Amino acid sequence: MTRIPYPTDEQLDDEAREILAALPPLNIVRMFANAPAALKPLTELGAANLLRAELDPRLRQLAILTVARVTGSAYERAQHENVSRAIGMSQTEIDAAVAGDLDALDETGRLVARFAEQITREVDGGEQTTAAVLDLLGPRQTTELVVCCAYYGAVARIIATCGVEVEETLPTADIDPDDWRSR
Protein backbone atom coordinates (compact mmCIF):
# COMPACT_ATOMS: atom_id res chain seq x y z
CA MET A 1 0.00 0.00 0.00
CA THR A 2 1.30 3.42 -0.88
CA ARG A 3 2.34 5.83 1.84
CA ILE A 4 1.59 8.76 -0.42
CA PRO A 5 -1.50 8.34 -2.60
CA TYR A 6 -1.23 8.40 -6.37
CA PRO A 7 -2.86 11.51 -7.82
CA THR A 8 -6.27 11.04 -9.36
CA ASP A 9 -6.92 12.11 -12.94
CA GLU A 10 -8.89 15.07 -11.57
CA GLN A 11 -5.86 16.23 -9.59
CA LEU A 12 -3.59 16.28 -12.65
CA ASP A 13 -3.05 19.34 -14.79
CA ASP A 14 -3.28 19.08 -18.58
CA GLU A 15 0.49 18.72 -19.05
CA ALA A 16 0.70 15.88 -16.51
CA ARG A 17 -2.24 14.08 -18.16
CA GLU A 18 -0.54 14.45 -21.54
CA ILE A 19 2.77 13.08 -20.23
CA LEU A 20 1.10 10.14 -18.51
CA ALA A 21 -0.94 9.31 -21.62
CA ALA A 22 2.25 9.07 -23.69
CA LEU A 23 3.99 6.64 -21.32
CA PRO A 24 3.37 3.06 -20.16
CA PRO A 25 1.04 2.93 -17.14
CA LEU A 26 3.76 2.70 -14.49
CA ASN A 27 2.97 3.38 -10.86
CA ILE A 28 6.30 5.16 -10.44
CA VAL A 29 5.42 7.63 -13.20
CA ARG A 30 2.00 8.15 -11.62
CA MET A 31 3.75 8.91 -8.33
CA PHE A 32 6.08 11.38 -10.07
CA ALA A 33 2.91 13.22 -11.15
CA ASN A 34 2.38 14.24 -7.51
CA ALA A 35 5.29 16.62 -8.15
CA PRO A 36 4.19 18.24 -11.42
CA ALA A 37 7.33 20.37 -11.79
CA ALA A 38 9.47 17.22 -11.59
CA LEU A 39 7.32 14.92 -13.73
CA LYS A 40 8.68 15.91 -17.13
CA PRO A 41 12.38 16.14 -16.10
CA LEU A 42 12.22 12.80 -14.27
CA THR A 43 10.57 10.97 -17.15
CA GLU A 44 12.88 12.61 -19.70
CA LEU A 45 15.96 11.56 -17.71
CA GLY A 46 14.58 8.02 -17.49
CA ALA A 47 14.05 7.98 -21.26
CA ALA A 48 17.54 9.37 -21.85
CA ASN A 49 19.02 6.55 -19.77
CA LEU A 50 16.96 3.84 -21.43
CA LEU A 51 16.64 5.00 -25.01
CA ARG A 52 19.21 7.60 -25.98
CA ALA A 53 22.42 6.81 -24.12
CA GLU A 54 25.38 5.36 -25.99
CA LEU A 55 26.08 3.00 -23.07
CA ASP A 56 25.62 -0.63 -24.02
CA PRO A 57 22.08 -1.68 -22.95
CA ARG A 58 23.42 -4.86 -21.31
CA LEU A 59 25.78 -2.86 -19.12
CA ARG A 60 23.02 -0.38 -18.31
CA GLN A 61 20.72 -3.17 -17.22
CA LEU A 62 23.44 -4.82 -15.12
CA ALA A 63 23.88 -1.47 -13.38
CA ILE A 64 20.14 -0.94 -12.84
CA LEU A 65 19.64 -4.46 -11.48
CA THR A 66 22.60 -3.90 -9.17
CA VAL A 67 21.13 -0.63 -7.91
CA ALA A 68 17.81 -2.43 -7.37
CA ARG A 69 19.55 -5.17 -5.37
CA VAL A 70 21.59 -2.79 -3.22
CA THR A 71 18.61 -0.52 -2.48
CA GLY A 72 16.21 -3.43 -2.01
CA SER A 73 13.90 -2.08 -4.72
CA ALA A 74 11.59 -4.93 -5.69
CA TYR A 75 9.83 -2.52 -8.07
CA GLU A 76 12.97 -1.69 -10.07
CA ARG A 77 14.03 -5.33 -10.04
CA ALA A 78 10.69 -6.57 -11.39
CA GLN A 79 10.49 -3.96 -14.14
CA HIS A 80 14.13 -4.22 -15.21
CA GLU A 81 14.28 -8.01 -15.24
CA ASN A 82 11.72 -7.72 -18.05
CA VAL A 83 13.66 -4.98 -19.84
CA SER A 84 16.82 -7.08 -19.50
CA ARG A 85 15.13 -10.06 -21.13
CA ALA A 86 13.80 -7.80 -23.90
CA ILE A 87 17.30 -6.63 -24.81
CA GLY A 88 18.51 -10.22 -24.97
CA MET A 89 20.32 -10.65 -21.67
CA SER A 90 20.57 -14.24 -20.53
CA GLN A 91 18.66 -15.39 -17.47
CA THR A 92 22.04 -16.32 -15.98
CA GLU A 93 23.24 -12.70 -16.24
CA ILE A 94 19.96 -11.38 -14.85
CA ASP A 95 20.04 -13.81 -11.93
CA ALA A 96 23.69 -12.96 -11.24
CA ALA A 97 22.97 -9.22 -11.12
CA VAL A 98 19.92 -9.72 -8.90
CA ALA A 99 21.86 -11.98 -6.52
CA GLY A 100 25.10 -10.02 -6.61
CA ASP A 101 26.94 -13.09 -7.90
CA LEU A 102 29.73 -11.28 -9.71
CA ASP A 103 31.57 -14.52 -10.44
CA ALA A 104 28.78 -15.47 -12.87
CA LEU A 105 29.46 -12.35 -14.96
CA ASP A 106 32.18 -11.68 -17.50
CA GLU A 107 35.00 -9.28 -16.60
CA THR A 108 33.21 -6.23 -17.99
CA GLY A 109 29.97 -7.15 -16.25
CA ARG A 110 31.81 -7.61 -12.94
CA LEU A 111 33.43 -4.20 -13.25
CA VAL A 112 30.16 -2.44 -14.08
CA ALA A 113 28.26 -4.21 -11.29
CA ARG A 114 31.02 -3.39 -8.79
CA PHE A 115 30.99 0.26 -9.93
CA ALA A 116 27.18 0.46 -9.65
CA GLU A 117 27.32 -1.06 -6.18
CA GLN A 118 29.98 1.39 -5.03
CA ILE A 119 28.05 4.37 -6.36
CA THR A 120 24.88 3.15 -4.68
CA ARG A 121 26.43 2.26 -1.32
CA GLU A 122 29.19 4.85 -1.03
CA VAL A 123 27.89 7.62 -3.36
CA ASP A 124 31.39 7.69 -4.90
CA GLY A 125 32.47 5.04 -7.39
CA GLY A 126 35.97 5.15 -5.95
CA GLU A 127 39.08 6.39 -7.68
CA GLN A 128 40.40 3.00 -8.85
CA THR A 129 37.07 1.62 -9.99
CA THR A 130 36.17 4.86 -11.77
CA ALA A 131 39.56 4.84 -13.53
CA ALA A 132 39.03 1.23 -14.64
CA VAL A 133 35.54 2.00 -15.98
CA LEU A 134 36.82 5.14 -17.70
CA ASP A 135 39.60 3.13 -19.33
CA LEU A 136 37.07 0.57 -20.55
CA LEU A 137 34.18 2.82 -21.62
CA GLY A 138 35.62 6.30 -22.18
CA PRO A 139 34.28 9.57 -20.77
CA ARG A 140 30.85 9.60 -22.40
CA GLN A 141 29.72 6.09 -21.49
CA THR A 142 31.31 6.30 -18.04
CA THR A 143 29.37 9.48 -17.33
CA GLU A 144 26.19 7.90 -18.71
CA LEU A 145 26.75 4.96 -16.36
CA VAL A 146 27.19 7.30 -13.38
CA VAL A 147 24.02 9.20 -14.34
CA CYS A 148 22.13 5.92 -14.76
CA CYS A 149 23.18 4.66 -11.31
CA ALA A 150 22.37 8.01 -9.70
CA TYR A 151 18.97 8.19 -11.39
CA TYR A 152 17.91 4.68 -10.44
CA GLY A 153 19.26 5.17 -6.92
CA ALA A 154 17.09 8.29 -6.61
CA VAL A 155 14.09 6.49 -8.09
CA ALA A 156 14.57 3.61 -5.62
CA ARG A 157 14.40 6.12 -2.78
CA ILE A 158 11.21 7.64 -4.20
CA ILE A 159 9.70 4.16 -4.56
CA ALA A 160 10.59 3.18 -0.99
CA THR A 161 9.58 6.43 0.69
CA CYS A 162 6.32 6.86 -1.23
CA GLY A 163 5.43 3.16 -1.10
CA VAL A 164 5.11 2.72 -4.87
CA GLU A 165 3.58 -0.67 -5.54
CA VAL A 166 4.64 -3.15 -8.20
CA GLU A 167 1.85 -3.37 -10.78
CA GLU A 168 -0.16 -6.59 -10.82
CA THR A 169 0.48 -6.78 -14.55
CA LEU A 170 3.88 -5.35 -15.35
CA PRO A 171 3.75 -2.98 -18.34
CA THR A 172 7.30 -4.08 -19.17
CA ALA A 173 6.25 -7.71 -19.53
CA ASP A 174 5.00 -7.22 -23.07
CA ILE A 175 7.60 -4.87 -24.48
CA ASP A 176 8.75 -5.56 -28.00
CA PRO A 177 12.40 -6.71 -27.92
CA ASP A 178 13.03 -4.99 -31.27
CA ASP A 179 12.16 -1.67 -29.67
CA TRP A 180 14.97 -2.12 -27.14
CA ARG A 181 17.74 -3.98 -28.97
CA SER A 182 18.35 -1.24 -31.47
CA ARG A 183 18.75 1.47 -28.86
The 3-state DSSP class for residue 144 equals: helix
pLDDT (0 to 100) of residue 170: 64
Residue 183 pLDDT > 80, yes or no? Answer: no
CATH of the domain spanning 56-181, picked from 1.20.1290.10, 1.10.10.10, 3.10.100.10, 1.10.3720.10:
1.20.1290.10
Burial of 95-132, coded b for 16+ CB within 10 Å and e otherwise, reads ebbbeeebeebeeebbbbbbbbbbbbeeeebeeebbeb
pLDDT digits (tens, 9 = 90+) for 100-118: 999 999 999 999 999 999 9
State mean pLDDT over 43-63. 96
pLDDT at 92: 95
Cα torsion angle, 138, 139, 145, 149, sign: positive
What number of other Cβ atoms are within 10 A of residue 156's Cβ?
Answer: 24
pTM reported for the whole predicted model: 0.92
The ranges assigned to domains in the chain are 56-181
Do 28 and 4 meet the contact criterion of CB atoms below 8 Å apart?
A: no
In this model, does residue 4 exceed pLDDT 80? yes
